[in-house]
Structure 1
Amino acid sequence: LFRDICRQVPTVLTIYDVDMTVTEARGVVKAAFAKNAGVTDARTIAILNHKGRTELQEATLQYKTKAQLMAF
């Protein structure tokens, strides 16, 4: 999931016209993943994985507004 998101970062930044470098955006993604690094329960990991894939899909298909994207 992390790799998939990092691959889509340049596209999402272009789509939403975000004033942020690719490196900075990837750092934000890395920090979001680091918050959940200690999770070991398989069910919780599956839920987080699903939520992450849904967020990625919504961002790439432009279902989110720029404000919603920047709140992340």
Structure 2
Amino acid sequence: MAFTLRSVKVPPNSVNLEEARNRVFDFFRSACRSIPTIMEIYNLHDVVTVSQLRSTIASEIRKNAHVTNSKVIDLLLFKGMEELNNIAEHAKQRHHIIGQYVVGRQGLVQDLNTKDQAISDFLKNFYNSNYV
């Protein structure tokens, strides 16, 4: 059974911060419920566990914990639902999922420093400046 959000209509704006907060928890639960299906679709069992993906989802949500405007929270939820829908409908490829949610940006920057020791200092500084 594939997980899809296409049939879900965009809800109206949250009335207050508490309603927006509850919607965030509902989104987190639905995202966590879709993890086993996503792992099957993208064959991720060899690179990540369900709990690691759950932690990644939680950290992505916590990045915006400082937001207190309910309209902004609704917009972020819409973007999150769209991302989850794209992943569940296989609109992304496996390396996109691994790079974005398994390795993360910090891992890619660390790999850059150990990847090629023979490059010049100028190129190392140039590459590092593009990731900052």
Can you give the 5+ residue segments of structure 1 that lack an aligned partner in the other structure? none
Please give the per-residue CA displacement for 1:10-43, whole angstroms capped at 9, x wherever unaligned.
1101111112110111011111111111111112
CA RMSD of aligned residues (A): 1.0
Instruction: Indicate the structure (1 or 2) with the bigger Cα radius of gyration.
Output: 2
Please give the per-residue CA displacement for 1:29-68, whole angstroms capped at 9, x wherever unaligned.
1111111111111121111010000011111110111222
TM-score (norm 2): 0.52
Runs of 4+ in 1 over 3 A off after TM superposition: none
| Shift, 1:8, TM fit | 0.3
1:56-67 to 2 correspondences below 5 Å: 56-67=84-95
- Provide the secondary structure at the position in 1 that maps to 2:68: coil
2:65 is the alignment partner of 1:44:
no
Q: How many residues align?
A: 72
Higher helix share: 1
TM-score (norm 1): 0.91
RCO (CA 8 Å, sep 6+): is it higher in 1 or 2?
Answer: 1
Matching residue of 1:12: 38
**Sequence identity percentage:** 32
Pairing partner for 1:24 from 52, 60, 70: 52
